[in-house]
Structure 1
């Protein structure tokens, strides 16, 4: 008797603790296995048994209900009992996206933005091609009609007789090539890589950045890898994450940015489209498993009702099994620029976060480095107030103009501040000006330029596809983003000028203050002090010192720009013209409390976040404007409609543009005798190039397996249209 085929063991590891046997996820691309312990800790192991990294439990009340790797192993989706999905990096183990958080917030986990969602019963990844093949593109309609082509030739200054002729009888291949290049011009312009010539972004200090999504801003390697991957990413495909909820609402997320809310039709449903966020459609059918094929426009979802019959592992079975085929209108309506739209939207979101993190970093630097000088001044001001001698800046101004020390200032300079205190003061302020200059020059200005390029790209696509289903978003929303970026650039350039001026003034003040400390230590009336004053006073910059005492010491204009966090009403829309007026008023010292609000980087950053959110909402409305087409196919056997909990669904390409979906399940039965044949039901559905509107075919096959290893197997078919069982592995 021939030896039965066996699957060889590739790897084996014994753990010292128990894991959840129903929560395992293996990635064949990276050979990583994710398991969940009883303490709700995710552990990732390599195929050799070494532990790669650990993802700790999110909170004591959080449990994990599902795991799924993306196709390339770059990230792991973790479904939680809260109804949200966290995305974990497959390289570092850090949570790069917390489910339910505001995508434009720099907070790693913001529970205020979360709403209740239904239990997650299905989690899956898919890949969808976003552009047609070369042969299809050649036969499709050109992006430019003939009138637009003629207009372009006219702009190039070519007469009609000089233009290439491309009629059917023309054999001039060069002319045909020029015409083809011109027709492909919109696509080539859209994918023109302008960002490669822009200054690269610099990392933001780790101590100032929030954890989570924006950890990629903390190191140069992470930043370069992220933006390089956005450029290198396959333009022909988009990653799709499907999340099915028991409450009836399902969510399809494209490339971690565009979320499509999808609910299959069912008898008695009355759903308005697009669906509202709080709308739930509870029904008996629960999503169980999802699958798709990259070249198929349709996606497959397996749904069923819970059954009271328990399977062998005490898991509830299912009844009324249905296969739902549906399309994603975005994938077909987005056209050849879908990848560009999705990637640019994701970039705009993350660049907005980079801007916010940079401004938060500048504010943190201000708080950290002005703390020590503020304490020095507060201590002496308390003493001066008790003695009725005014404030520090007035006393120092008097000292700079007359050279006469008051007893209180003399004692403070000699005994309290002294040389050591001056060094600490000088170091703190010098570091502050250096860090602020670095943030303005290496972080904010480059990211504003890059953001303007991305927003301009999206506005160009919105204008090109105006009033069409391919990208039906008003160009004005991107114009608002560009206007806000322009205002931010103007304010940053003004800040650079103020910073340079105050830095020069502080250097002069610091040198003068050290000279006064030396005089106080030597006794101002002594001969050595007088010689020192005569020798060094001419080298001091008194004009800049006085300017710093009048402004930068206690009334720094940088504080209003960097440190203040004013809020404006949602109805107010600040403009660049308003900002220019406020800048002129500030230069002449005529600002008031209302106009000072517009001189805050935080305010303009918040406004940028607001207009970016508005653009994101318009994009979401565009991709939800079309209702998905669905087709529900019941999966039943001649004996029973109930199946056990172990189910699997796959979509295969039988031939070009012909796809077959297979569902594998075990019909439910309470017990099996030792010699009884166990049935495995295999359903399949065929669909042609026309999709749901064309001809389809459905069948099922019953496969008999022995209940014991000594029994022989048998099978019987109830549908001649079914494929052989050997095609399923």
Structure 2
């Protein structure tokens, strides 16, 4: 039979050469991510890298430039295709929102290490597990059970199965009823604050809250209104492997579980331990890891490690997904509140920056005068009450303030105070209300003794968090009341100042002469002023705004730090009941450092919330177990290894590792490992296959639970083969042929998407062009296949 040629559904010539190993096909959409290297002309070094996400028609969806000096080492899609994870050379994992033009929503930095040299990244994996496996199988009716597991994570699966979900009233009441859906969404913040929030999210996330799409991705990605029926039991797991044999586990995008050291499960004389591959199955909480080691006896060995995330099935009946999503929401709300605090400080500084400069000049002039008026407040108070204006004050009003600066003063202060009121009313207080809802949900889980122990929740710690949120809420209302009062006073003050500037200008022009009608008219308008409000502003805000007691401006007009003394929390170690103490403090005029301001309360809240997160992570991390299953053959090529976990018909799992041979380029070895958590140590069944025509393997990828795709190349031709690795017979199916004559580009990398109904293979040629093939093209239908099988028999 003549070889079948696959249909080409997309191809693209890249603007620059691709970085090896970064080609990634989206599992749920026809999108391809690839990292290209931008070289400066005349420079052989890899200077810059850029991520590009492309459609099959060659159109770029978005691009993302790597920070200067950093290399993108790994690219991994989330199963639903909404987020894209990038592993960079600094050890950080950056999550990009695909639905919002690649805006970064999280920057997850690696945990601190004692060593001066931080281990590099060696593996990045993003998978998902169902906590209640039996409940997940029972959730869907018979007609939906036939759907492939990959389809469960597609964007539109919930719409297809919306009528097939079985009703579960207790679970809906526990997980589906969420009051947050009835709360208005938080307002977006202006970009450019540069506030990381102390959560390891700094370094470029200053605009993560600047658009509605980013806000939705951060706060509503796990909303209970999701169409997907698996939303109650699905646990997203993000694993990061390092070159020192440790892995870092996160769930639900950014909730930190912590690091696990795998070296205890490896040979004692191992010198180099590098986590290379990860494979998992949604219906098994036991993951498989391939770890490369170097010992005295063997130059390089590849070990299979079983990583059992026991906390997923153990905590599923106690609503792990609710715990993790609410904790993640609280963490993101603290990031949001930190940036709101930064905006408030900037606006407060901007509101009084220009006035402080102008007032400082007149104060220096008045201090040298001999008329007894030593500062602007005294002189202005005298002018309002008596109408008598000294020469120095008159000259300052006319020459320095004038019409131009009075407009600038009005614009800067009015805009700054109005922004403070807006940020407080539209951002600070709504975010605190959401914090109260989230913490109350966590408190509800902690009040059940058994779930509190399993989930690691401490009711007393949550009470401290709630008490501090209440203090912030009270401070926010006081700040809103204060800024509204000062805006009213400022409006009256500016009306008086404009009037006095014009009056004093006319008086200086008519000095010693008869008054003008205009001057008389302006003097009569003094009676219309709200003198009491003007005096209150001069005596109060012109000296020191009351808002400074709530929000600490970052620097003054001269650039001097205004941090000032922070509140000494040693006076209130227990924190519980501090709300009543703080309420009394707000009614008393205390000096700097005697009463906590917004920054003090946020720092305290951050520390208390971190204790809650640490308690949860420590409890969950205790249930993470690992052990060595087996060691693969000595001649396995660790750099060309792929794996898949297959669900067998009897409900057991099997892990299949496919590797190329270090000495024989045309040989592929498949290691079949029975996956039984009760008996972790196993002896793999090994099958060796030789690629037709003795061609060298360029790439191997699993398509599904039955087929393995191999990209091979020879002298004149390159091929795409499919190998049925579950069949006892060795049957190579030639799917596509590449003609390498005439200087054609040589295929060098393979990426496969085995999504049901849209199976595709992406081949990278010479690092400069990728071609996408439809794997379902040229395939015979079921009747034709049966006829061919009959003929073969």
Distance 1:503 1:22, change over 3 A: closer
The structure that is strand-richer by fraction is 2
Distance 1:379 1:641, change over 3 A: same
Alpha-carbon distance between aligned partners in 1 of 2:295 and 2:2, rounded to the nearest angstrom: 39
Question: Which deviates the most, 15-24 or 538-547?
Answer: 15-24
Q: 8 Å contact 1:41–1:54 — kept in the other structure?
A: no
Distance 1:721 1:368, change over 3 A: closer
SS in 2 for 1:19: coil
Q: Alignment partner for residue 348 of structure 1, among 330, 345, 359?
A: 330
Q: 8 Å contact 1:26–1:32 — kept in the other structure?
A: yes
Residue 468 (structure 1) shift: 5.6
Alpha-carbon distance between aligned partners in 2 of 1:349 and 1:725, rounded to the nearest angstrom: 53
Distance 1:551 1:726, change over 3 A: farther
Residue 369 (structure 1) shift: 2.4
Alpha-carbon distance between aligned partners in 2 of 1:285 and 1:519, rounded to the nearest angstrom: 82
- 1:442 matched to 2:412? The reply is no
Which residue matches 1:227? Answer: 219
In structure 2, stretches of 5+ residues that fail to align are 38-45, 140-165, 196-202, 509-513, 554-562, 696-713, 720-724, 734-753, 755-793
Q: 8 Å contact 2:77–2:84 — kept in the other structure?
A: yes
Distance 1:699 1:708, change over 3 A: closer
Q: Alignment partner for residue 456 of structure 1, among 440, 452, 475?
A: 440
Q: Alignment partner for residue 640 of structure 2, among 635, 646, 668?
A: 646
Which residue matches 1:520? Answer: 504
SS in 1 for 2:345: helix
Q: 8 Å contact 2:104–2:205 — kept in the other structure?
A: yes
Alpha-carbon distance between aligned partners in 2 of 1:34 and 1:318, rounded to the nearest angstrom: 33
Which residue matches 2:539? Answer: 550
Alpha-carbon distance between aligned partners in 2 of 1:571 and 1:445, rounded to the nearest angstrom: 27
SS in 2 for 1:41: strand
Residue 320 (structure 1) shift: 3.2
Residue 443 (structure 1) shift: 0.7
Distance 1:434 1:115, change over 3 A: farther
- 1:485 matched to 2:466? The reply is no
Q: 8 Å contact 2:418–2:487 — kept in the other structure?
A: no
Distance 1:604 1:721, change over 3 A: closer
Which residue matches 1:260? Answer: 258
Distance 1:382 1:583, change over 3 A: same
Q: Alignment partner for residue 93 of structure 1, among 102, 110, 115?
A: 102
Q: Alignment partner for residue 198 of structure 1, among 183, 197, 202?
A: 183
Alpha-carbon distance between aligned partners in 2 of 1:645 and 1:429, rounded to the nearest angstrom: 62
Distance 1:644 1:410, change over 3 A: closer
Which residue matches 2:84? Answer: 76
- 1:582 matched to 2:585? The reply is yes
Which residue matches 1:563? Answer: 552
Alpha-carbon distance between aligned partners in 2 of 1:19 and 1:487, rounded to the nearest angstrom: 53
CA displacement 1:321-363 (0-9 Å, x = unmatched): 3222221122122224111111111100110111111111111
What is the Cα-based RMSD across aligned positions, in Å? 3.6
- 1:130 matched to 2:131? The reply is yes
In structure 1, stretches of 5+ residues that fail to align are 103-110, 139-176, 271-280, 309-316, 673-677, 714-719
Residue 427 (structure 1) shift: 2.3
Distance 1:495 1:203, change over 3 A: same
Q: 8 Å contact 2:337–2:428 — kept in the other structure?
A: yes
SS in 2 for 1:562: coil
Alpha-carbon distance between aligned partners in 2 of 1:320 and 1:707, rounded to the nearest angstrom: 29
CA displacement 1:587-646 (0-9 Å, x = unmatched): xxxx22332x42x2111112111112121111111111224143412233xxx5544631
Alpha-carbon distance between aligned partners in 2 of 1:113 and 1:397, rounded to the nearest angstrom: 62
Residue 300 (structure 1) shift: 1.0
Please give the TM-score of this superposition, normalised by the length of structure 2. 0.73
Residue 249 (structure 1) shift: 1.0
Distance 1:200 1:57, change over 3 A: closer
Q: Alignment partner for residue 538 of structure 1, among 497, 502, 527?
A: 527
Q: 8 Å contact 2:302–2:638 — kept in the other structure?
A: no
Q: 8 Å contact 2:289–2:304 — kept in the other structure?
A: yes
Q: Alignment partner for residue 43 of structure 1, among 51, 58, 81?
A: 51
Residue 221 (structure 1) shift: 4.1
Q: 8 Å contact 1:506–1:548 — kept in the other structure?
A: yes
- Structure with the bigger RCO (C-alpha within 8 Å, sep 6+) is 2
Q: 8 Å contact 1:291–1:300 — kept in the other structure?
A: yes
CA displacement 1:263-313 (0-9 Å, x = unmatched): 33656779xxxxxxxxxx9744432211111111211112233599xxxxx
Which residue matches 2:13? Answer: 14
Which residue matches 1:667? Answer: 661
Residue 724 (structure 1) shift: 5.7
Q: 8 Å contact 1:25–1:35 — kept in the other structure?
A: no
Alpha-carbon distance between aligned partners in 2 of 1:613 and 1:114, rounded to the nearest angstrom: 24
Q: Alignment partner for residue 609 of structure 1, among 606, 610, 614?
A: 606
Alpha-carbon distance between aligned partners in 2 of 1:20 and 1:391, rounded to the nearest angstrom: 66
Distance 1:269 1:619, change over 3 A: farther
Alpha-carbon distance between aligned partners in 1 of 2:115 and 2:475, rounded to the nearest angstrom: 34
Residue 451 (structure 1) shift: 0.7
Alpha-carbon distance between aligned partners in 1 of 2:527 and 2:425, rounded to the nearest angstrom: 35
Alpha-carbon distance between aligned partners in 1 of 2:57 and 2:114, rounded to the nearest angstrom: 41
- 1:413 matched to 2:397? The reply is yes
Q: Alignment partner for residue 685 of structure 2, among 677, 681, 699?
A: 699
Please give the TM-score of this superposition, normalised by the length of structure 1. 0.79
SS in 2 for 1:505: helix
